[in-house]
Amino acid sequence: MSALPKHAAAVRTPAVDEAVQAPHATPRARARTSAATDARHAALVLLGTGVVGGTLLRLLATPAAAGLHLVGIANSRVQHANPRGLVPLQAARLLEGASAVRDDDALVAALAASGAAQRIVVDATAADAVAARHADWLARGLHVVSANKAVLGGTYAAFHDLRRAGATGNAVYGDAATVGAGLPVLSTLRRLRDCGDRLIALEGVFSGTLSWLFNHYDGSRPFSHLVREARTLGYSEPDPRIDLAGTDVARKLLILARSAGHAIDADEVSIESLVPEALRGVDVATFLTRLGEFDATLEARRAAAAAKGCVLRYLARIDDDGAARVGLAEVEPTHPAARLAGTDNLFALTTTRYRAQPLVISGPGAGPEVTAQALLGDLLAIRGRVAHA
């Protein structure tokens, strides 16, 4: 995503937008939007209307989201805002004819004009340019709920600035959707640390795509065939190299390690990319066509593991001394990762109190429904601050 435009039309502030009060809008929908100025409620703007953002909009229309009021929505180009509120199920369509150029400051102004006690920016993008603004929003007292890993899994300096900004603005940073699509791994790590427990090792499978590939890779089909199938099924990115490079897994490992108290920087993670060097600079079609040239290399590794009674898994691991690695590993049949299915993620935590047997968290680690639900969970936690204020 390119840098965001700095110029934009002013935020629209009519009593209620015509689209919000369309004849087919239900009385309940109108009541939800007119309540946006109630100081007991939380107002939010949503950045990103892709698969995850679109799913979150549907969740915002359910009874579970009562007290959460959408006042702005934006994609990478345009936006629509109304401090009085937007109907979630109609909001995405408002962008189709929107003339207001994307301007984050104008969206923040809509939050301020809403009168809500809690004001939240939701980042459902993967854009570095959006993540770069998280610290500024926090410092200004805006809560941020994010599925974007760019800052949490970036440099340690940026991570530290983010935490300091949250403290300065007395604002919450909701990050449950950044790792494991809402599996309770981050919250578990923090609770263990708060209780005085100490992480000795963390190991797991953090990518749904790589989980699926190696759960199915038994030598009956070449690895390149599985990569193409994963792409067809929608389990991988359109350019599978984004998954195969291991950088996304490394970001998740950094987020987890830092939550456990390790001051580790991005360049300290050893990453084994599964993308052959000769195919890193070619176009996607060429990559998919030529990937079969390297099947023999990976098959030799699989066969060597099988000769020892092991299977290959793409693991992330951090040890007690902070040594962090992401890459292929041979695991025995008794290892939790050897028993995964589908696109499941796995997190095995060995601590001073879970030393004899690690605490294992596993389940769906990808998908718009569970990711959007993780965002909603963080939103509800922030809304709860109103009730307890």
308 is known as an active-site residue: no
- Rounded distance between C-alpha atoms, residue 48 and residue 204, angstroms: 29
Do 41 and 114 fall within a single domain? yes
Both 111 and 138 in one domain: the answer is yes
373 and 329 within one domain: no
Contact 280, 241 (CB under 8 A): yes
Tokens of 259: 């939550």
β-strand 100-101 against 78-81: which pairing, if any?
A: antiparallel
The pLDDT value recorded for residue 385 is 72
Do residues 175 and 266 share a domain? no
E strands in the chain: 42-47, 68-74, 78-81, 100-101, 118-123, 143-146, 173-174, 199-205, 269-271, 311-318, 324-331, 344-351, 359-364
In a domain, 302, yes or no: yes
In a domain, 339, yes or no: yes
Residues 222, 77 share a domain? no
Q: Is residue 100 in a domain?
A: yes
Domain hosting residue 35, numbered range:
27-182+369-387
Q: 323-342: string of b/e by CB count within 10 Å (b at 16+)?
A: ebbbbbbbbeeebbbbebee
CATH number at 254 reads: 3.30.360.10
Predicted confidence at residue 386, as pLDDT, reads: 54
Same domain as 42, residue 175: yes
Q: Are 327 and 272 in contact (CB under 8 A)?
A: yes
In a domain, 3, yes or no: no
Q: From the annotation, which residues make up the binding site for L-homoserine?
A: 237
Q: Are residues 252 and 351 in the same domain?
A: yes
Q: What is the reported pLDDT for 15?
A: 29
Residue 2: inside a domain, yes or no?
no
Would residue 1 count as lying in a domain? Answer: no
3-state DSSP call for residue 202?
strand
Does 383 lie in the same domain as 335? Answer: no
Q: 252, 262, 302, 335: which is the annotated catalytic residue?
A: 252
Annotated binding site: 48-53, 125, 149, 237
6 falls within a domain: no
Does some domain include residue 194?
Answer: yes
Same domain, 213 and 324: yes
Q: Exposed, middle or buried: residue 27 (CB in 10 Å: 0-12, 13-18, 19+)?
A: exposed
- pLDDT tens digit at each of 389 positions of the chain: 333 333 333 333 332 333 333 334 444 444 344 444 455 689 999 999 999 999 999 999 999 999 999 999 999 999 999 999 999 999 999 998 888 899 999 999 999 999 999 999 999 999 999 999 999 999 999 999 999 999 999 999 999 999 999 999 999 999 999 998 879 999 999 999 999 999 999 999 999 999 999 999 999 999 999 999 999 988 888 899 999 999 999 999 999 999 998 999 999 999 999 999 999 999 999 999 999 999 999 999 999 999 999 999 999 999 988 899 999 999 999 999 999 999 999 999 999 999 999 999 999 877 889 999 999 999 999 998 755 44
* 50 and 176 belong to one structural domain: yes
Which segments are annotated as binding site for NADP(+)? 48-53
Q: What is the CATH number of the domain that holds 146?
A: 3.40.50.720
Q: Are residues 77 and 191 in the same domain?
A: no
Residues 324 and 382 in one domain: no
Total number of domains in the chain:
2
